[in-house]
Amino acid sequence: MIPLFSTNQIREVDEYAINKLGIPGLVLMENAAIQIFTNIIEKTNHLTRRNNIGIVCGKGNNGGDGFAAARHFANHGFKVNVIYLGDENEMSPDCLSNYKTLSNLAEDNQKIFLKKYTSGKDLKIIEDSDIILDAMLGSGSQGSLREAYKSIVEALNKMKSFKVAVDIPTGLNSETGFAEICFNADLTVTLGEFKKGLFFEDGFVNSGVIEKGDIGIGFSFFNKLKTSEYLIEPEDALNNLPIKKKNIHKYSSGKVLTIAGSGALPGAAVMTVKAALKVGAGASILCFPKSVRKLIFNKASEVVVNSYEDDGKEFLSRKNIKELEKKLEWADALAIGPGLGRQTETQEAVLEILKKKKCKRIVVDADGIYALNDDRYRNVDLESIILTPHHGEFANLIDIDISELKKNILYYGKKFVEETGSYLVLKGAPTIIFTPNGDVLINTTGNPGMAKFGTGDVLTGTIAGLLSQLKDQEKAAIAGVYIHSLAADLLVNDFSEFGYTATDIIKKLPAAINFLSKSINLETT
């Protein structure tokens, strides 16, 4: 796991470096500038000294990093145009020091040009730049952007230059990952350590490639800081996969029961049960309405279909629970919800199944989650149950507007699992896992091609299949989320982000496991 830190923790480290280690703030700023310069050079290997660098600097230390970086570019022969906001008496001490140094250099170096921002017309100075560097606010952004920052960010985002953010894209809240308007970076050089808000929601969309810039204090102090947010690494997924013993048989290698599908939505059920088998479950049984079972027989040849009597209604109801109880007790893991439908009778059946907990390990998705709406989840013991909603489903579940959810997604996710004791797998770009102990695990695989019907049903089956083998909710969630998206990443090579489907992801799951294993083994040899 890669730890992610809060802005306050990063500031604490800065204070430690200055006050305890005795490293002057100007030295930290100089180290930051070198990291910014080096990362830009490495990530833009086409860059030559004929290229122009445009930099917009604020009044705080983020602006100071920008002034110092401008000096490094100028000293290496690049043409540098710098626009800065505010007067000298408004600048932080270290920012002012680097501003004055750059201003003095500009007197004898025609490749350095500085201009105080007075209106949007000043941005014409940098609109033809090959690189635009955002050094306005960094982690100082907390609320809505004020003018002139708002207008500047909007104008910069329209420019076709390669865009780089210093530490945090201006406008992004580094705690919540939310932004109303945000600098859209191709590269973010984040200083000291990774800030959590860069890796989800608007941060994920607007930060581009994220590189860490070492400011020269090492990482020993960071190791002492407590955090609850992490990025999932390949090793985490591989280490959480089940180990296949030589003497296993189909019933000892994971038994999955899937209660999913209806006459109106049979396909979701098929994808769920097939995914469970593709990640190693030994037995997979689908419970499906008897009156329409022919809909799936030709689509699920490897799956045992256990039909329940539905009196021609084509959906699950409470009267079916008694005939399902033995199978629920038999199963190592239950997947419930995909394609079930939202009839009142079906919702009542889902609630009763969850309340009785005849199966101890449960993954709830789609229409199963819908059954918990209107505060009904508060009357169900969700402890250790895995829920896999997308953002809209989760917002409905906790009865808030989705726009409100996006403003502080970590808060709402943590609050929900703390109240319920459940595991929340919040599907999205990226998918985020919230555990009952307060940890937040952010997935690092996946691509936009996954935004298609059926991919969520495949994830439900993937997690349920692994859960049946591992008997551990957190391990199953970590491995399932990572491998599911890794399979999609492998498909991009053959089909692009446009051309693959949820069914293709199912077929690619074994290859993803194989790829993961071989890749890590190669790295360790």
The CATH number of whichever domain residue 82 belongs to comes to: 3.40.50.10260
Q: What is the dihedral of CA 241, 242, 244, 248, to 10 degrees?
A: -160
Indicate if 251 and 172 belong to the same structural domain.
no
Categorize the per-residue pLDDT at 525 as very low, low, confident or very high, splitting at 50, 70 and 90.
Answer: very low
Residue 144, pLDDT score: 84
Does residue 338 have a cis peptide bond before it, meaning omega lies within 30 degrees of 0?
no
Q: How many angstroms separate the CA atoms of 74 and 130, rounded?
A: 14
Residue 9: predicted pLDDT: 86
Give yes or no: residues 195 and 254 share one domain.
no
Does residue 523 carry a pLDDT above 60? no
Tell me the residue ranges of DSSP E strands in 43-194: 52-57, 79-84, 112-116, 131-135, 162-166, 187-191
Domain identity same for 184 and 257: no
Question: Do both 246 and 214 map to the same domain?
Answer: no
Which residue is listed with tokens 């350095």?
112
Cα–Cα distance for residue pair 289/282, rounded to 1 Å:
23
Asked if the structure places residue 391 within a domain, the reply is no
What is the per-residue pLDDT across 72-97, written as a single tens digit (0 to 9) for each? 999 999 999 999 999 999 999 999 99
User: What would the mean pLDDT of 391-413 be, rounded to a whole number?
Assistant: 97
Domain that includes residue 450, residue range:
240-379+443-524
Residue 403 lies in a domain: no
Mean pLDDT of the chain: 92
Q: Looking at the structure, tell me whether residues 272 and 200 fall in a common domain.
A: no
For 165-206, write each residue's pLDDT tens digit: 999 999 999 999 999 999 999 999 999 889 999 999 999 999
pLDDT over threshold 90, residue 12? no
Q: Are residues 222 and 297 in the same domain?
A: no
CA torsion, ordered 51, 182, 34, 442, to nearest 10 deg: -120
pLDDT at 49: 64
Q: Running DSSP on this structure, what letter comes out for residue 427?
A: B
Number of domains in the chain: 2
69 has a pLDDT exceeding 50: yes
Examine the domain organization and report whether 210 and 266 are in the same domain: no
Q: How many CB atoms lie within 10 A of CB 280?
A: 20
In a domain, 234, yes or no: no
**How many Cα atoms are found within 13 Å in the side-chain-facing hemisphere of 456?**
26
Which domain-ending residue is among 203, 227, 251?
227
Q: Please state the three-class secondary structure of 163-228 as a single string.
A: EEEECCCCCCCCCCCCCCCCCCCCEEEEECCCEHHHHCHHHHHHCCEEEEECCCCCCCCHHHCCCC
> What is the CATH classification number for the domain harbouring 254?
3.40.1190.20
Give, in degrees to the nearest 5, the angle at Cα 98 between 127 and 103. 65
Residue at which a domain ends, from 169, 197, 227: 227
pLDDT band at 365 (very low <50, low <70, confident <90, very high): very high
The two beta strands, 440-442 and 432-434, are antiparallel
b/e sequence 56-78, b meaning 16+ C-beta within 10 Å: bbbbbbbbbbbbbbbbbbbeeeb
Query: Residue 45: its pLDDT value, please?
Result: 74
**pLDDT (tens digit, 9 = 90+) per residue, 287-328?**
999 999 888 877 776 778 888 999 999 999 999 999 999 999
Q: Do residues 117 and 216 share a domain?
A: yes
248 and 223 together in one domain: no
Domain termination residue (choose one: 227, 251, 284): 227
As a dihedral over the C-alpha atoms of residue 451, residue 453, residue 455, residue 457, rounded to 10 degrees, the angle is: 150
Residue 436 has pLDDT above 50, yes or no: yes
pTM of the complete model: 0.93
What is residue 78's three-state secondary structure? coil
Query: What angle in degrees, to the nearest 10, is found between the helix axes of 267-278 and 455-470?
Result: 40
Handedness of CA 14, 228, 187, 203 (dihedral sign): negative
243 close to 521: Cβ distance less than 8 angstroms: no
Name which residue leads in pLDDT, 174 or 250.
174
